């Protein structure tokens, strides 16, 4: 069932991982999908997968820490499709590890610029476009670390907490203007962000921290994002949903 037919959807950071899964799902449900990433090869691979399955997609290279890239991206979407109805602000980085007192300043600045400022810049340009399009839905990808803390990642934890707060504030501002804004908090998910940075023993340790006994998949997160993007969730805004195998229930 093409529940997103005639809809235009943007997914940032969709060259791999969760963003890739969301973009493929959106397109599979009928949306004209804009794949965006700083990684051109990864982004084009996502577009190829979508088109091979009969979907519609284009790629726009963008660095989400740069507000001008967001401005350009939204302008191109409106030029190409004439509207913007759905956005998943997914792009993010892990950043360096270390205790707060020793954490590199440049690492802090980079993580905040991508993971928090990047979401704000997105909203700043996406919302006016959605208002002109008659409304829409925005899903911001936060993390379980938008609710709880962990040692050694002060910038990431701060940024993801900020995404949850920003989501709530923006949702209240546009609730009566037919724009819904929600956040999703994935647990530890088997994505390149994790598998490229951690060894097998560390991945097993992370899996054991989830009561369900394993790490999540990008497709499982994408299903929740999709539900928040469609009319089935029409009474949901300003909310933060975890998809974490029970991690934050402990």
* Whether the Cβ atoms of residue 83 and residue 75 lie closer than 8 Å to each other: no
Helix, strand, coil proportions of the chain in percent (round to 5)? 50, 15, 30
Q: Is 156 a catalytic residue?
A: yes
Cα→Cα distances 133→75, 95, 225, 233, 240, Å: 13, 36, 20, 19, 25
Helix ranges (H only) for 113-199 are 118-132, 154-174, 192-195
Torsion-angle region of residue 39: left (phi > 0), alpha (psi -120 to 50) or beta?
Answer: beta
* Whole-number Å distance between alpha carbons of 118 and 135: 21
Residue in 14, 18, 13 with CA at minimum distance from that of residue 218: 18
Tokens describing residue 125: 């340009």
Q: Terminus-to-terminus CA distance in the chain, angstroms?
A: 37
CA gap 239, 175 in Å, rounded = 12
Dist. CA 42–CA 249, nearest whole Å: 34
103, 121, 156, 247: the catalytic one is: 156
Q: Which residues are catalytic?
A: 156
């Amino acid at each position: 069932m093409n529940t997103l037919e005639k809809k235009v959807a943007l997914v940032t950071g969709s060259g791999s991982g969760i963003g890739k899964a969301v973009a493929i799902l959106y397109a599979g449900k009928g949306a004209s999908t804009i794949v965006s990433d700083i990684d051109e090869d990864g982004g084009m691979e996502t577009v190829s997968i979508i088109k091979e399955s009969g979907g519609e997609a284009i790629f726009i290279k963008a660095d989400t820490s740069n507000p001008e890239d967001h401005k350009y991206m939204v302008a191109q979407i409106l030029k190409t499709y004439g509207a913007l109805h759905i956005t998943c602000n997914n792009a993010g980085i892990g950043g360096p590890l270390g205790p707060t007192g020793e954490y590199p300043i440049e690492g802090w600045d980079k993580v905040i610029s991508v993971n928090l400022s990047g979401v704000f810049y997105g909203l700043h340009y996406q919302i006016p476009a959605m208002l002109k399009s008659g409304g829409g839905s925005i899903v911001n990808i936060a993390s379980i670390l938008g609710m709880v803390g962990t040692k050694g990642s002060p910038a990431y934890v701060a940024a993801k907490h900020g995404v949850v707060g920003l989501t709530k504030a923006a949702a209240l501002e546009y609730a009566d203007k037919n724009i819904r804004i929600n956040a999703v908090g994935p647990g530890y998910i088997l994505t390149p962000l994790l598998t490229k940075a951690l060894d097998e023993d560390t991945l097993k340790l992370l899996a054991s921290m989830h009561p369900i006994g394993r790490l999540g998949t990008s497709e499982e997160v994408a299903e929740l994002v999709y539900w928040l993007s469609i009319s089935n969730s029409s009474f949901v805004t300003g909310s933060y949903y975890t998809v974490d195998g029970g991690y934050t229930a402990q």
